[in-house]
Structure 1
Amino acid sequence: MEAAYSLSKPLTPPPPPTESPSPEPPEEGCFSAKATVQLEDGSFKLIKDVGIKDKVLAVDKRGKQLFSEIVLLMDVVPDYVGEFVAIEAGGRHLHLTPAHLLFIAGSDSSSFDPVSIFAGQVKKGQYVHVVEPVNGGVEKVRIERVCRVQDHGAYAPLTEEGTIVVDNILASCYAVFSNPKVAHWSLAPFRWLHSMNKTLEYFINASLNLGQDPKCGIAWYPSILYQIAEVLYIV
């Protein structure tokens, strides 16, 4: 059954995008607890239940579907209650916090050229990428409704690809920074550590504790990045 969204609170204009950190707390760059992702075996799982090494549906830079491994749970806040952006497109519904990045389809309908913007800047009439696992297609679908709603839970898994399909809509794994390429590059050392961990597990049945699965709160590696970014932003 589709959720009923209240339009009683209008969408307030956000500040223009910037390479600097958003003034909103890092914990607010997440999906709601009821969001779903698709696993490699074809089943669906609530995003609050996914874990490290789960492979979830994502899209690569060429617009091709793939299943990308979750390498880090960047933020886990089960008791979070707050404002989310509710996006409706082609019968799909997605709730994500205003500082999270969403891919908007570009003007060229013949190519895959997504533009990343904050969810708080999304407007009715723009186009998102809807992923259809059955036919393997990635379609551009017009956004029919955008509003603010109250929802609960805040979860931000990171895939190796840096993208994730949530409730059949393509989104970035990143938040706070307007450029996902910068965020992806900054997390490259952690992805390398994760890769080395898999090698250790394969050859000597041992692994390092990388703090990938926090029970609550922001993981240590993105926390350090946010602190550095805040210092640079102040300077």
Structure 2
Amino acid sequence: MPSGDLIPINRLRIGQYVQAANEEGQLISSKVLGFLDKRPNETAPYITLTLASGHAVSLSANHLLYVTALNNSTDGNAEGSMSSIPSHPVYAGQVQLGHYLYIPMDGQLRANPVVGISYGFKLGAYVPLTEHGSIIVDGALASCYASFPHWLSHALLMPARYFPEILLDTEDSQDSPGLRTFPSILKMVGQTLAKIKVVNNYKSNDIIRLYAFDKHFPSPSL
């Protein structure tokens, strides 16, 4: 929340304001317009990224996070703000130890290093859409989008940001489970573009292959 108070994502409601980032990398408040997908009863594989700050960020592998490797842009002490450090959305499954995510600190978004990566299964999947296409999740800045590049998803979902009551949710429909119709259509568009090599996409079952071949994941408790 803009006040810094925490609210579980499963209790998030349309019309509420959450912390997010604008195009200049500044920490702002952004309105929740609706949900792209909501699956409260589904158990799915998640990656948990532990930061030096103590934050533990749990996301699906195909969800996008704002990441920097810092390189020579600061002295590597995690004191650089997002507005002064080059960053770009990266799929959670591609984040490595030593990469930096962004956390709210002193009214700014500041880089903080990833010091641990773990894998497991969690119950529930919620994908809210904000006015700015970003949101603070588990204390770190994430995109509202998954599977396809942020710029593409943000552009294609512009109609939903202008007309969320028609294309996403109303007060009455926001608790309904499932992928919303308009995002499902855009997902098919993205899959078509990926097939003809116009864009790259990160498939949600890529994380399942991690489980199948690398044995990172414990067996889910069902």
1:123 to 96, 120, 135: 96
Task: Decide whether aligned partners of structure 1 residues 187 and 54 sit closer, same or farther in structure 2, where only a CA change above 3 A counts.
Answer: same
Say whether residues 1:172 and 2:135 are aligned partners.
Answer: no
- Structure 2 distance, partners of 1:77, 1:85, is 17
SS in 1 for 2:7: strand
Distance in 2 separating the partners of 1:131 and 1:173:
17
1:147 equivalent in structure 2: 118
Gaps of 5+ in 1: 1-38, 195-207
Deviations 1:157-198 (A, max 9, x none): 010101101121011111001x2111101111111224xxxx
What letter corresponds to residue 140 of structure 2 in structure 1?
I
Task: Select which of 24, 33, 53 maps to 1:71.
Answer: 33
Deviation of the 1:151 alpha carbon: 1.3
Cα deviation code 1:41-68 (max 9, x no counterpart): 4432110111111110101121211110
Question: What amino acid is aligned across from residue 161 of structure 2 in structure 1?
Answer: R
Separation of aligned partners in 1, 2:192 and 2:147: 15
| SS of residue in 2 equivalent to 1:67 | strand
Q: Check conservation: 2:58, 2:138, Cα contact below 8 A.
A: no
Deviation at 1:230, TM superposition (A): 2.4
Q: How does 1:52-67 map to 2 (within 5 A)?
A: 52-67=14-29
Q: What is the aligned partner in structure 2 of residue 96 from structure 1?
A: 59
Structure-2 change in CA distance of 1:211 and 1:62 (3 Å): closer
Normalised TM-score (structure 1): 0.72
> Structure 2 unaligned runs (5+)?
75-79, 197-222
Alpha carbons 1:51, 1:73 under 8 Å: kept: no
Q: Size of the alignment, in residue pairs?
A: 181
1:215 maps to a residue whose letter is: S
How far apart are the structure 1 equivalents of 2:94 and 2:167? 34
1:51 to 6, 10, 13: 13
Amino acid of the structure 2 residue aligned with 1:64: Q
Alignment pair present for 1:190 and 2:148 = no
Which residue, 46, 68, 72 being the options, matches 1:105? 68
Cα pair distance change 1:184/1:211, threshold 3 Å: closer
Give, in whole Å, the separation in 2 of the partners of 1:233 and 1:64. 31
TM-score (norm 2): 0.76
Distance 1:103 1:41, change over 3 A: closer
- Classify the secondary structure of the residue corresponding to 1:164: strand
- Deviation string 1:15-74 (CA, Å, 9 cap, x unpaired) is xxxxxxxxxxxxxxxxxxxxxxxx234432110111111110101121211110011201
Equivalent positions of 1:29-44 (< 5 A) are 39-44=1-6
* Distance apart, 1:82 and its partner CA: 2.1
Aligned equivalents of 1:84, 1:50: Cα separation in 2: 20
